Structure 1
Amino acid sequence: MWLVAGLGNPGPGYAMHRHNIGFRVVDELCRRIGGRFSAPARMRAEIAEGRLGPPGSDGARLVLLKSRTFMNDTGAALAKSTAYYKIKPDRLIVVHDELDLDLGRMRVKHGGGDNGHNGLKSIRKSLNTGDYYRIRVGVGRPPGRQDPADFLLSNFPARERDDVEIQIARAADAVESLIINGLDRTQSAFNS
């Protein structure tokens, strides 16, 4: 079993923000497995379950997670979910936005620092480790002197929306590849 957590902020007002690209990748994975999100009591997250591959297949079992907490408290939802499903860090994939990568670029990695990302800081604090898989989805840097927080909490402009949809599909492909093919092959195929 794998737990795939997309990072973002809950609620429709945040849905299309750069900071919510992790949620959108997990939504795409949910669509692919034919799942539906529900909000179990006390989980502090929306959860969907299914298997990779066609319905009824013996593909890898997935638990998809979108925290119902804000980004800065994502770790609380992950701690509850990993404990409930008995998921170890080597079966956890976190999908998140990355300012240091341009839109259209992605990095798949295992472990590492938080690089100032409040969601990753919260996860490290709650799980007492940073040793899990990450799909870092590029959203680019803010123009000029725009505050990075304001940039992340804004929608992608209309001219980038097609590229964003392609990037979401590629990131979902990378999650599937990581589970099926392992880290080395996935990095070779997807790191840009």
Structure 2
Amino acid sequence: MTVVDVHAHVFPSISRQESRILDAEAGPWLREDSGGAGMMSGTTEYRPVGAELWNPRLRLEQMDRQGVNIQVVSSTPLMSGYCADTARAAQWCALANDRILELCATGPDRLVPLCQVPLQDTEAACAEVTDDRARPLRTVPPGAAKRRSPRLRRRPLQLLRYTAATAARYGSTPLDPRRGGRRGRPAARKT
């Protein structure tokens, strides 16, 4: 029997300087030092964390110990960026997705990355999903639809409708490169 953990978080190694892409004062980043490690929001520690959160080899070892074959991973809620302006959030999501892909590349058959998108702007979110067509990102995290803002609760539905329409038009999911999609281009249909 294959055991799949469908809700696992990662916090890829992101520096304080890189966190300023999202927020100059309170951007999320990973602190690693002699005192341990922590998810940071600017200069404030959000919470201490274990290396399995960003070290893929340790994550895979932990999965083996727990009998988990596959994990579907997404960024932690601290990394969402939903309160940032669209331009910053879009740039942040691109960085987060690149780092999550790097992390998952260590175990591509076992670590399934979910796409982080800037939900504050439907067009920007759709652009990130479309841009990720050539990446092994699958979809947006289910928690994205649970935001408190009514405006944000409506947007995941719009995004999913766009994704479904794209998949129907091109005959495959726009997030699955195994079906021939290329970065920023639809999958070619085989005849």
- Could you say which TM-score interval applies, normalised by the shorter chain? 0.3 to 0.5
Report which structure shows greater RCO (CA 8 Å, sep ≥6). 1
TM-score (norm 2): 0.32
TM-score (norm 1): 0.32
The structure whose Rg is larger is 2
